[in-house]
Chains A and B, each alone.
Chain A
């Protein structure tokens, strides 16, 4: 009677519901991203050429850090309130539940960053012709960041105030995405090879991180 997708759909809606019910916490990564990016022009002074050159890198750094801001509670809450036990008893692999939950978290907290990126590019003096590419790049990169951050969050689920631990675990995995992402945004070619490598790094995160999350959560339950 139960389709294989039913538990995943339920987990997805529950994660979305929890995020919305959580109030302004949802907007924290977007606020962090926008705040960091708007402080940069102020601190750089009036040299617009330097600002435009540094802008893509600044946005990547802000995106990487913004993705970590709300990671801590992603699985910790489930571990504390007993929901993770209920998932663990079911037949659906925890890796799939983790994938769905992380994806829902990205939709709520990560997608706004992708939408914000071109507007912040405007503030930082990035040329308008680069905006579509920048949005796609920051969207793809953000997805990878959220999944590696989710992996860190699953390992640190049982740790109180595990935010620093999550960052330490996740940041090394951010490196390929950050390198290819920055190169993609700054490249002068229409469809640079770095874009494929950026997409590949995101696909790698989507394919591998859920299994790591599943194994880490299984350890956390036991």
Chain B
């Protein structure tokens, strides 16, 4: 299922303040591949993901991401007063997506929570809503910062299935994880 590479980096380096986080990181992720990032707290997993997403300017090395990116960071992106339904409607409108929002809410187990403002949702429900965005538009590259945090067993299984399905469609996933992960990685990088 592998083909051309969606992410190619060489000699990537990053600093935080005057501390070097990592140097000379090279990584290639082909279509259909899952790449897991591991490392201690503060080792630069989030920084590497933000570099790949283009959120941080590159200071050293080369980076090539061939395709649009879906991003899931520590913060889920919901506004405090936004309900899961409104959140998905908002981004569907912004991205020009005509995906059936109700179907997405059903798929991510958010039917009962669909009209609850984000301040009243559990962390796992907010995370599910954030993943709901991924169903709004087909983008080849998924960058996930600790995607399984806050999710219950069902949620973890659900997201792992979505990730597998995405890879089967020819997408690529880079995710930072801690401990046991339900994903079968094609590559693993330790920072």
Interface residue ranges, A against B (CB under 8 Å) = 1-3, 6-7, 9-11, 13-14, 17-18, 21-22, 77, 80-83, 85-86, 88-90, 221-222
Partner of A222, one of B57, B76, B79, B81: B57
Nearest opposing residue in chain A for B74, CB measure: A82
Question: A11 and B75 in contact (CB under 8 A), knowing A18-B81, A221-B55?
Answer: no
Q: How large is the interface on B (under 10, 10 to 19, 20 to 34, 35 or more residues)?
A: 20 to 34
Q: Is there contact, CB below 8 Å, between B93 and A222?
A: no
- Type the 1/0 row for B96-134, where 1 means its CB is closer than 8 Å to any CB of A: 100000000000000000000100000000000000010
Q: Is there contact, CB below 8 Å, between A81 and B78?
A: yes
Partner of B75, one of A17, A81, A88: A81
Which of B50, B53, B79, B91: most chain A Cβ within 10 A? B79
SS class, residues of chain A in contact with chain B: helix
SS class, residues of chain B in contact with chain A: loop
Kindly list chain B residues whose C-beta atoms are within 8 Å of the C-beta of A86: 71, 77, 91, 133
Q: Is there contact, CB below 8 Å, between A10 and B90?
A: yes
Q: Is there contact, CB below 8 Å, between B94 and A6?
A: yes
Does B20 interact with chain A (Cβ within 8 Å)? no
Kindly list chain A residues whose C-beta atoms are within 8 Å of the C-beta of B56: 221-222
Kindly list chain A residues whose C-beta atoms are within 8 Å of the C-beta of B90: 10, 13-14
Q: Is there contact, CB below 8 Å, between A2 and B95?
A: yes
Kindly list chain B residues whose C-beta atoms are within 8 Å of the C-beta of A80: 75
Does B151 interact with chain A (Cβ within 8 Å)? no
Q: Is there contact, CB below 8 Å, between A89 and B81?
A: no
Kindly list chain A residues whose C-beta atoms are within 8 Å of the C-beta of B79: 14, 18, 77, 81, 83
Does B80 interact with chain A (Cβ within 8 Å)? yes
Q: Is there contact, CB below 8 Å, between A82 and B55?
A: no
Q: Closest approach, in angstroms, between the C-beta of A79 and any C-beta of chain B?
A: 9
Kindly list chain A residues whose C-beta atoms are within 8 Å of the C-beta of B73: 82, 85
Q: Is there contact, CB below 8 Å, between B94 and A10?
A: yes
Q: Is there contact, CB below 8 Å, between A82 and B75?
A: yes
Does B11 interact with chain A (Cβ within 8 Å)? no
Kindly list chain B residues whose C-beta atoms are within 8 Å of the C-beta of A81: 75-80
Q: Is there contact, CB below 8 Å, between A85 and B75?
A: yes
Does B69 interact with chain A (Cβ within 8 Å)? yes
Kindly list chain B residues whose C-beta atoms are within 8 Å of the C-beta of A6: 93-96
Cα distance A197–B86 when bound, in Å? 43
Nearest opposing residue in chain A for B53, CB measure: A89
Nearest opposing residue in chain B for A222, CB measure: B56
Kindly list chain B residues whose C-beta atoms are within 8 Å of the C-beta of A11: 94
Kindly list chain A residues whose C-beta atoms are within 8 Å of the C-beta of B76: 81-82
Q: Closest approach, in angstroms, between the C-beta of B10 and any C-beta of chain A?
A: 21
Kindly list chain B residues whose C-beta atoms are within 8 Å of the C-beta of A7: 94-95
Cα distance A86–B71 when bound, in Å? 7
Does B67 interact with chain A (Cβ within 8 Å)? no
Q: Closest approach, in angstroms, between the C-beta of B47 and any C-beta of chain A?
A: 10
